[in-house]
């Protein structure tokens, strides 16, 4: 396992890691950091000890805007700010994730350094809240940190290792296993499990019908996991209805392929999705809620879907989607999208704003289905 992946897993376990930026003449900066999510009092005190009594908070550019921090004129950038000595983990979590009183007036604010940005990158990859508590390592504490690393208490990762992991042009997936799973909407179904090469995410391809009976182009649905909608029938979204609807289409047309991707909450993870729901309850739409938490409007990627289609030797498809980004991503991956078929859910009082936001802020093709909602009626 690569060091960056080990670092990600340590952060998910609530453990601190050491992140170093290497320059042309050696070390250009080192920090000891931990994610705000799962931060314990013990870890906070450990980081404060390295910082000679103080710790700092690094947040993404999206969160910095929500906090009212002044960001560089050349674009959205991650920012860092000093924390008071008496701050608690709960107070840091609130500062990093809520919409109430999140504007800060700290004079100790600057653009985040490469090691701090590296920590934020790992947090996002691990579906954690993208905010990290850190302390810079200087000459007075360098020996203490080296001892922590030598003893195995803290893992050391470089920013270049993190960048290599995060910027992989192509996501590699491996077929792990498969087996028959008869479904209510399609009895002749087979599930195929795929795992990304870094071991972080697992995806599923659901094969409906016999390939010899599939139409041309092959119907394909790329569906991002939604525990609340797919399993529990949440009224906040239309995901569950789209999932079941796609299976019915496949069955009626002689078969097809459903790609079920582990991208809960548009790629932010279940924990952050529930945080976003709480913010939506306060009046924010889905995009603004995600941005308040430090994420972009849509954090999903479709590289794994393209690789799964290649593994299945599926090259010409009819894509069941209302999302133009899926069409673009699949085509850029070399899959021929011959045509698109709309896939609608049912409008209810709980999902009207969600649907309107998808159209108005993400460009989804839902206007024909919901003209009254789109116009605010």
Q: Is 298 a catalytic residue?
A: yes
Which is it for strands 336-341 and 316-320: parallel, antiparallel or unpaired?
parallel
User: How far apart, in whole angstroms, are the C-alpha atoms of residue 230 and residue 241?
Assistant: 8
Q: What is the mean pLDDT of the chain?
A: 91
Q: Which residue is catalytic, options 298, 310, 331, 340?
A: 298
Please state the φ and ψ torsions of residue 141, each to the nearest 5 degrees: -120, 0
Give pTM, 2 decimals: 0.90
Residue 23 is predicted with a pLDDT of 72
Residue 376 is predicted with a pLDDT of 36
Residue 14 is predicted with a pLDDT of 95
Q: Is the pLDDT of residue 303 over 50?
A: yes
Residues 150 and 216 in one domain: no
Residues 29 and 157 in one domain: yes
> Strands, DSSP E only, in the chain?
17-23, 26-35, 56-59, 79-82, 109-111, 131-136, 155-158, 173-180, 189-196, 202-208, 218-224, 256-261, 316-320, 336-341
Residue 301 is predicted with a pLDDT of 93
Decide: 141 and 50 in contact? Cβ < 8 Å.
yes
User: How far apart, in whole angstroms, are the C-alpha atoms of residue 364 and residue 336?
Assistant: 20
Residues 157 and 276 in one domain: no
Tens digit of each residue's pLDDT (9 = 90 or more) over 57-100 = 999 999 999 888 877 766 678 999 999 999 999 999 999 999 86
The number of folded domains in the chain is 2
> What is the CATH classification number for the domain harbouring 10?
3.90.870.10
Domain membership of residue 197 as a residue range? 173-374
H or E element: which one contains 23? strand 17-23
> 308, exposed or middle or buried, with CB in 10 Å at 0-12, 13-18, 19+?
buried
User: How far apart, in whole angstroms, are the C-alpha atoms of residue 360 and residue 351?
Assistant: 14
Residues 143 and 189 in one domain: no
Which domain-ending residue is among 119, 136, 166? 166
User: How far apart, in whole angstroms, are the C-alpha atoms of residue 49 and residue 145?
Assistant: 11
Tally the C-alpha atoms within 13 A of residue 333's C-alpha that lie toward its C-beta: 26
Which domain-ending residue is among 131, 166, 201? 166
Cα 174 from chain centre: 21
Please state the φ and ψ torsions of residue 33, each to the nearest 5 degrees: -140, 160
Helix axes 159-166, 3-12, angle to 10 degrees: 90
Tens digit of each residue's pLDDT (9 = 90 or more) over 123-153 = 999 999 999 999 999 999 999 999 999 999 9
Q: Is the pLDDT of residue 26 over 70?
A: no
Q: Which residue is catalytic, options 266, 275, 300, 356?
A: 300
Tens digit of each residue's pLDDT (9 = 90 or more) over 138-191 = 999 999 999 999 999 999 999 999 999 888 757 889 999 999 999 999 999 999
> What is the CATH classification number for the domain harbouring 369?
3.40.50.10990
Q: Is the pLDDT of residue 251 over 80?
A: yes
């Amino acid at each position: 396992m690569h060091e960056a992946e080990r670092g990600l897993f340590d952060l998910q376990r609530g453990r601190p890691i050491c992140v170093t930026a290497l320059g042309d003449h050696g070390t250009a900066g080192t920090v000891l950091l931990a994610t705000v999510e799962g931060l314990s009092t013990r870890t906070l005190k450990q980081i404060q000890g390295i910082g000679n009594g103080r710790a700092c908070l690094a947040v993404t550019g999206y969160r910095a805007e929500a906090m009212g921090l002044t960001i560089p004129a050349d674009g959205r950038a991650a920012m860092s700010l000093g924390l008071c000595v008496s701050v608690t983990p709960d107070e840091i979590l609130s500062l990093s994730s809520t919409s109430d009183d999140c504007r800060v007036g700290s004079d100790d604010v600057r653009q985040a350094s490469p090691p701090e940005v590296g920590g934020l990158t790992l947090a996002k990859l691990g579906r954690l809240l993208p905010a990290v508590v850190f302390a810079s390592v200087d000459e007075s504490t360098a020996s203490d940190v080296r001892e922590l690393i030598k003893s195995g208490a803290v893992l050391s990762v470089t920013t270049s290792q993190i960048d290599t992991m995060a910027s992989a042009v192509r996501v590699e997936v491996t077929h792990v296993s498969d087996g028959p799973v008869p479904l209510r909407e399609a009895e002749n179904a087979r599930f195929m499990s795929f795992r990304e090469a870094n071991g972080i995410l697992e995806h599923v391809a659901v094969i409906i019908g016999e390939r010899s009976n599939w139409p041309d182009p092959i119907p394909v649905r790329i569906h991002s996991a939604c525990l609340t909608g797919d399993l529990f029938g949440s009224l906040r979204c239309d995901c569950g209805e789209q999932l079941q609807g796609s299976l019915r289409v496949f069955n009626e047309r002689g078969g097809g392929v459903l790609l079920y991707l582990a991208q809960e909450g548009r790629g932010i993870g279940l924990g952050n999705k529930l945080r976003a729901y709480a913010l939506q309850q306060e009046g924010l739409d889905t995009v603004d809620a995600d941005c308040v938490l430090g994420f972009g409007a849509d954090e999903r990627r479709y590289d794994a879907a393209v690789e799964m289609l290649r593994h299945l030797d599926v090259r010409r498809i009819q894509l069941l989607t209302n999302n133009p980004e899926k069409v673009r991503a699949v085509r850029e991956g070399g899959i021929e999208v011959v045509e698109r078929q709309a896939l609608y859910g049912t409008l209810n009082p709980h999902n009207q704003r969600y649907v309107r936001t998808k159209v108005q802020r993400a460009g989804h093709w839902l206007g024909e289905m919901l003209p009254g909602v789109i116009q605010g009626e």
